[in-house]
Chain A
Amino acid sequence: MTEEKTEQTTKDGDWKPIILGILCNWCSYAGADLAGSSRLKYPPNVRIVRVPCSGRVNPLYVLKAFQKGFDGVMVLGCHPGDCHYAKGNYFARRRIMLLGELLKSVGIEPERFHFEWVSASEGVRFAELVNEMTETLEKLGPFAGVDNSAEEKSKAEIR
């Protein structure tokens, strides 16, 4: 049913992928900031949430994002060894790697979930990541891994 929706909306050209970016304050968010101040072009499809550390990222956030209909999620943190809190990203590494595998197990395409290290000086890299992901998702289509039909029906009824 949601596959039909893909056909309709891409024909209309209305659908654009929405990506949730969970970025750690000290490295990846600073990197994104640098991309901005360097006037690098990257698509506006990413919605950024800033967290103090990638170790703070509760994997449930990612699940919730997909449940709510985000087309892609990226979790970005400091390179191992560079964590502002020393160890946070090491814990994140274990947790988020496992999360990635769990998502694959239930059929969520690996292209929809990215877990990367982006340092504060990697503005270019951040822009590239968002560019690539947006392009890939545009080709892949809207996220169809969760059946949101009951919720959609609810929204439609009051309108």
Chain B
Amino acid sequence: MATKKELIQEFQKNPDRYWKVKLFDELGFKRRQCKNCGKFFWSLKDQDVCNDSTCRSYDFIGKPPTKKPLDIFQTWKKIQKFFEDNGHAALNRYPTVCRWYPLYFTIAGIVNFYRVDEEGNLDWEVPANPSILLQPCLRFNDIPNVGLNSKSFTCFGMVQQTSFFNGKEGYWKDKCIELDFNLLSKVFGIKPEEINFIEDAWIGYGAFGSSLEYHVQGIELGNAVFTEFAGNLENYREMKEKVIDMGAGWERFTWITQGTPTSYDAVFGPVVEKLKKKCGIKYDKKFFLKYAKISGKVNLDEYADLKVVLEKIASQLGISVEELRKNIEQLQALYSIADHTRALVFAIADGGLPSNVAGGYNLRVILRRALSFIDKFNWNLGIEDVADWHISYLKKMFPELEERKEEIEKVLQAEINKYKNTKERVGRIIQSFAGRKISEEELITLYDSEGITPEQLGIEVSSDFYSKVTERHMAEKKEEEKVLLDVSNLPKTKILYYDDVLKFKAKVLKVSGNFVVLDQTSFYPTSGGQEHDTGYISGLKVVDVFKLHSVIVHQLESCNLKEGQFVDCEVDKKRREILKRHHDAIHIISGAARKILGYHVHQHGAEKTEEKARIDITHFESLSEEEEEKIEDLANKIVEKSLPIKKYVMKRGEAERKYGFGIYAGGYIPSRVLRIVEIPGFDVEACGGLHGDNTKDVGFIKILKTKRIADGLVRIEIKAGEVALDYMKEKERILKEVAEKLGVKEENVPEAVKKLFEDWKQKRKQLKKMRKRE
């Protein structure tokens, strides 16, 4: 796979083909090379240094190049109107927690349209073309820069301009840059000679293309990516439908209109001022302004060592590193708290949960980082209050934040309590290292296992510490596949199990040892947590069934079948029925848990066997007996209501629009069509498993036990229907037996057991006493 650098070098062999657009010729933009960074860029003005923040200061601070100052709401209104007037459909935002693609979070606006097809390749789901939307995004690879370089966020709004161009619909590079140029110059009033278009490229998710970043007075406002090739540099094809993926910074557009020292001052509304007041921050405003102007040069990704970066800046300002630190560290902490809290507000409102698992880990990192800052400076500040200030400011544009305010507070409070508990262990941990230096690896382990931050231990770490920690948890989710036999030349197996077929005939297509592939089957393969069917193929016992790509493989106890032979097959009806009931019951429990515990409850994993079923849900603490009972009661009410369990096969986009992204309860599904299982008014999920037709057929559901299996994960084990009844009858039998043995009524058993136990203890004591006397 080529690197971005190699890609740019390749495109630079023919820059006009990849970067030149009509507008450049029409207005006289010339291609130049920056003598500082070496990048090529296009500008009207004859300049030898480009507008990138690493090459020049934020010149707009104190003197904005735009018409008038705008707040974040006015900024978006202007952008949205401009694109709508130019034929773009304005879309609603997507959740920041990404459930439709194998990423934990929505890291860019374009991710909204990413899907995975049946072959595992990148696929697109586009509700309108062309389109514009404001997408709140979460990224955790830039944490050390937040608060330092005046422009980095973990949570930011991306203005996403998208066009799919196939010759008939949408538009391509010329129109894109013309629109973006007009947005800057006509809508925001930036003089054309202040605009640079810097040549860049983008590669990822099996596609690539050139891109043009637009920079004004030291700040990159947007990046228009022209995705036109699928594959990699060594082996690629031109895409039939090319993609304009322009992402611009909502915060940066707002900032440049206000010209405040940092973007945080411009975009957090009243939050920054409230924080300054509450924390009693005093700082040298004149000095900070000088720092802010050149703070764009802070890029810890490139320099990695904070000390080196600060030395450079300090020397430019003519002061020592210590003085610089003293002057900026409180503000850096304050801006970080504001940013991290806003990220948590969006993430929790969208169903995210700080924890030790998956993406929840990233949320924990930022919350603990914010709390560490509060500890460090001994501020009397509650994160819940900061969250509340953000919600009050943002609610007119994001009313859903206000709707989930109570839950956001509850989740934050639980996580803050966990942090406080770890703090109490800090002293003990420091002692255990007996004065020796704690290595970075040990610090990461301490963070992973105990959730203790280096700041809590009073240790200063390299600036990429949090990036290293979060990267461990940011990796895309990948599924392992065990290939047992080669099925590459076999056709897709025709599926009969959705039609409830129990007896069928089929042709043997392949035999390898005890593994058999048929042309069609009604044996359900283990998938989606549901165990496989069993039964017989030509009288031979089926012991396992699994899927390899689109081929279903049967494992037999022994096999004498021949390829080409026709066979009679029979699925074990009893087992099938139990598995179906357990699967239905898990959907019902999932819906009930969400209703009782809150919006943050999502399925993390599930298993449905003949004996019992389990679901692992995201939740911040163990369930109380009362919560367990409430969930079980609600589940059984749904059973008694005799609600239909509806199954539909729908186009993916249609299902998303109709039901929302909650359908991806168990994660993303690599398919253009989805099988939707709906219990009307209660639960709806995309699910490939087997289900009954009515909740009453499930029978009573019994929660066997619940257990916190990891931080942020609770396992609920259940039995349903006859299996649950057998389980309860066995308990009834034991109680009866015990009552008989004790010679008491059943309701008096606990009392009698207690009496018996006391009697036994007393006798033992007496005996001991007597023996001592002897």
> Is B truly associated with A?
no
